[in-house]
Amino acid sequence: FRGNEEDGLIEVDENLRTTVAEIYAAGDNSAMKRTVSFAVAAGTRCGMAINLELIMEAMDNA
């Protein structure tokens, strides 16, 4: 993973994907906000992004 050297966080895009294919990061390891509510929200958002990616992949293979 390519982390930000300044703060040590894992770099993610708007869908919480890392620079490594099929690897996502959410919560404390990818954002400075360190609260339970933020971690839950980030995990939910990450799950939604993964689900969308799987749906799109299934549609491409159909």
How far is the C-alpha of 52 from the C-alpha of 48, rounded, in Å? 6
Integer Cα distance of 38 and 50 in angstroms? 18
CB atoms within 10 A of CB 30: 20
Pick the closest to residue 14 from 59, 57, 46 (CA basis).
46
User: What is the longest distance spanned by two Cα atoms in the chain?
Assistant: 44
* Whole-number pLDDT of residue 34: 85
In this predicted structure, what is the pLDDT of residue 55? 97
pLDDT of residue 27: 86
How confident is the prediction along the chain (62 residues), in pLDDT tens digits per residue? 556 667 888 888 998 999 888 899 988 888 888 899 999 999 999 999 999 999 999 999 97
Please give the pLDDT value at position 21.
87
Closest CA to 16 of 41, 52, 45, 56: 45
pLDDT value at position 1? 57
Residue type, 32: M
Domain edges within the chain:
1-62
